[in-house]
Amino acid sequence: MNHQLFTRWGKNLDTDKPLQEYPRPQMVRDSYLNLNGYWEYAINFEKKAPVKYDGKILVPFSPEAFLSGVHRQTRPDEYLHYKTQFTLPEGFLRKRVLLHFGAVDQICEVFLNGSPVGSHEGGYLPFCFDITEYLAKGANELTLTVRDYSDTSYLSRGKQKLGRGGMWYTAQSGIWQTVWMESVPECYIERVKLDPDYDNGSIGIKVFSTGRRGRDVRIRILDGDCEAVSACMAADKKKDIKIKDFKSWSPETPHLYHMEITMGEDCVRTYFAMRKFSVGRDEKGILRFMLNNKPYFHNGLLDQGYWPDGLYTAPTDQALRYDIVKMKELGFNMIRKHIKVEPARWYYHCDQIGMLVWQDMVNGGSDYHMNFICFMPNFWMPFGRLVKDNKYRAFARREKAGRAQYYRELKAAIAHLYNVPSIAAWVPFNEGWGQFDAAEAAARVRKLDALRLIDEASGWFDQGGGDMYSIHNYWRRLKVKPKKDRVVALTEYGGYSQRIEGHSFCSEVYGYRIYQTKQELTKGYRELLETDIIKGISKGLCGTVYTQVSDVEEEVNGLLTYDRDLVKVEEETVKKLNQKIYEEFERCTHTGQ
């Protein structure tokens, strides 16, 4: 039997105005109209918009989420319909109006006042439409038709599964991020690409614009309230601007520079950080992760990004920020965002707080052969190092269209998140889930972004590419040794479990080692870190990802309960262990120690 859990933020949710914060902090305009709130919805078998709707749904929560007010699973053969009305506030309209969707799972068509505006495929990335020509004076009617195949097609789906259980979670559908509008001039700034050059002390800027190329652009870079530098440049051309005596960004000192960009009548605000991710040899000749040209241990956790009351959608911005803050307080410096792309504000919080991010690409593919892609390499580790991933049938990647869709989303995800300072690594594939041609995927990632690290195939089915010799280890004592050309990283481990009555989704328990009390769980966690992690650093271990931040449904292996009410381990013990990790890494990477 499943139990509906609530977070404290969900219990106190303002249903009249949910998630009102500006959704795109990496490129801010003053123009902003939030459309979150109660919409009409219907679920049926007809693609055509219904005459009568079923009731109200609280956007941006998926119908499967309790906070939506619907709490009903959509099926692959059903259509999910949305309808709302809006009127543009006085003074809002400039020349053009852009309608933005943070994410809609999985395929949607958008209509305004009965006219088709556009469509989108893929449930994890933002998209927008210019709706200027479709607007009416006064009230406007916005409708969507959505279909979600979940795990019955090759499209990306992450951990969603219609038959949830174990490591697979409740499937969700439809709008799950903020819907909003902005008004812009006829010629406006479309996007900005920022390339910090740490070694040369400069920031590379390229402003992409609509309309005539090469328009004049004015740049102001601010350090706090003080102007650090100003410059003029041409749109659609890159310019490098020197930052004198710049301040570095790191988890310990997360310093951000702010930037104002003006082009004609348009003005946007963004931010950046001066930091460098690389690999290099320590004083003892062992290959290590480097941050700002110094050896740096990535000490992280796996983060699924699920909420008991909102599923993919955190109830509030405070909830979204909470997990990051709590993990930082416990002494971690990295989060691996597991096969999900979060709202842009999540990355903004990581940038501000000082939390490294390893970003997974979202897995797709048809029905997985779990014996092949999971159980065999997990229990016999050499298996995953021997198999080539061009066996498309075995890896559930027979459909050419599905492979093409993956590459489109790979490119789009990197473009979307490119300016996020805290993202240290890209992870194209995880444990063979929908994996194919990983070496080619890693090469494409490198071409799209040469400034970050790559974990080509996290866990197993290693094809020899990327920057990491990536290990998943849940069942045995860890044995590592330095590699000649790649950094050794334990990219998943632990998964120690404890179910706490009143804070658990169901009575079933899924995990790798079961404990009954906080003291027992803490003792097991301490022994694991002292035996495997701390001792492994001298042998070349450079990064770790503990499973995981929070419980999710029956997978009760989080440091936090699913409702985020309890920390399941003794906090001071975890802090001291993390400090020991950093001290041991410092000792092992310097010849004089």
Give a yes or no: residue 205 inside a domain. Answer: yes
Structural domains in the chain (count): 3
Whether 337 maps to a domain, the answer reads yes
Instruction: Give the whole-angstrom CA distance, residue 436 versus residue 217.
Output: 42
Residues paired with 39 in a beta bridge: 57
Q: What is the arithmetic mean of pLDDT over 248-260?
A: 99
- pLDDT value of residue 269: 98
Domain contains 396: no
Q: Please indicate, yes or no, whether residues 170 and 219 belong to a single structural domain of this protein.
A: no
Tokens 């279909």, located at residue: 147
Say whether both 580 and 487 belong to one domain: yes
Indicate whether 472 and 546 sit together in one domain: yes
Residue 66 phi/psi, 5-degree rounding, is: -60, -35
CA 379 to chain centre: 29
Give the domain-ending residue among 150, 184, 218.
Answer: 184
DSSP string over 331-367: T--EEEE-S-PPPHHHHHHHHHHT-EEEEEPPP--SS
428 assigned to some structural domain: yes
Q: Is 95 inside a domain boundary?
A: yes
**Average confidence (pLDDT) over 320-337:** 99
Amino acid 383: pLDDT = 82
Q: How many residues comprise the chain?
A: 593
Assess whether 54 and 149 both reside in one domain. Answer: yes
For the ranges 206-220, 276-290, 299-313, 354-368, the lowest mean pLDDT is seen at 206-220
* pLDDT computed for residue 249 by the predictor: 99
Torsion of CA 237, 238, 244, 246, to 10 degrees: 130
Task: Count CB neighbours of 242 within 10 A.
Answer: 12
What digits encode the pLDDT tens for the residues 93-110? Answer: 899 999 999 999 999 999
Cα torsion through 191, 193, 194, 197, rounded to 10: -170
Q: Rounded to whole angstroms, how far apart are CA atoms 575 and 27?
A: 35
Question: Does the predicted model carry a pTM greater than 0.85?
Answer: yes
77 and 64 within one domain: yes
Q: Is the pLDDT of residue 344 over 90?
A: yes
Percentage of the chain with pLDDT > 90?
Answer: 94
Number of neighbouring beta carbons within 10 Å of residue 401: 10
Residue 382 CB neighbour total at 10 angstroms: 9
User: pLDDT of 158-185, one tens digit each?
Assistant: 999 999 999 999 999 999 999 999 999 9
Q: Which of 272, 290, 320 is the last residue of a domain?
A: 272
Are 44 and 145 part of one and the same domain? Answer: yes
Q: What is the DSSP secondary-structure string of 85-144?
A: EEEPPTT--SSEEEEEES-EESEEEEEETTEEEEEEE-SSS-EEEE-GGG--SSEEEEEE
- Is-contact 209 188, C-beta < 8 A? yes
How far is 343 from 102, CA to CA, in rounded Å? 7
pLDDT at 1: 61
pLDDT band at 66 (very low <50, low <70, confident <90, very high): very high
Percent of the chain's residues with pLDDT above 70: 99
Same domain, 179 and 193: no
pLDDT over 90 at 381, yes or no: no
Q: How many CB atoms lie within 10 A of CB 206?
A: 16
Q: Give the pLDDT band (50/70/90) at residue 243.
A: very high
pLDDT band of 592, cuts 50, 70, 90: low
Q: What is the pLDDT of residues 23-39, one digit of tens each?
A: 999 999 999 999 999 99
Rounded distance between C-alpha atoms, residue 378 and residue 368, angstroms: 15
Q: Residue 591 has what pLDDT? A: 67
Q: What is the mean pLDDT of the chain?
A: 96
Q: Exposed/middle/buried for 144, CB within 10 Å: 0-12, 13-18, 19+?
A: buried
What would the DSSP string read from start to end of 367-435? S--HIIIIIHHHHSTTHHHH--TT-TTTTT---HHHHHHHHHHHHHHHHHHTT-TTEEEEE-EETTTT-
Cα dihedral value 239, 244, 250, 252, nearest 10: -160
Is position 378 within any domain?
Answer: no
pLDDT value at position 593?
A: 54
Answer whether 555's CB lies under 8 Å from 510's CB: yes
Give yes or no: residues 143 and 156 share one domain.
yes
**CATH code of the domain covering residue 502:** 3.20.20.80
Is the CB of residue 256 less than 8 Å from the CB of residue 271? yes
Q: Quickly count: other Cβ atoms within 10 Å of residue 255's Cβ.
A: 16
- Half-sphere exposure (Cβ direction) of 2: Cα atoms closer than 13 Å: 15
Which residue, 362, 466, 343, is CA-closest to 409? Answer: 362
How many Å apart are CA 507 and CA 360, to the nearest integer? 30
Does residue 382 form part of some domain? no
Pick from 163, 184, 205: which residue ends a domain?
Answer: 184
Q: Which domain holds residue 231?
A: 189-272
For 210, 420, 456, the CA distances from 30, given in Å and listed in that order, are 19, 21, 39
Check pLDDT > 60 for residue 477: yes
Distances (CA, A) of 187 to 24, 90, 209, 228: 20, 22, 7, 28
pLDDT at 561 over 60: yes
pLDDT, average across residues 18-26: 98
Sort strands 239-242 and 202-209 into parallel, antiparallel or unpaired.
antiparallel
Q: Are residues 359 and 496 in the same domain?
A: yes
* Whole-angstrom distance, CA of residue 446 vs CA of residue 438: 12
- Looking at the fold, whether 326 and 414 belong to one and the same domain comes out as yes
Coil, helix or strand at residue 1: coil
442: DSSP letter: H
Rounded distance between C-alpha atoms, residue 583 and residue 483, angstroms: 22
Same domain, 244 and 98: no
CATH code where residue 36 lies: 2.60.120.260
Flag whether 393 is in a domain: no
508 pLDDT more than 70: yes
Q: Is residue 147 within 8 Å of 44, Cβ to Cβ?
A: no
**Same domain for 201 and 322?**
no
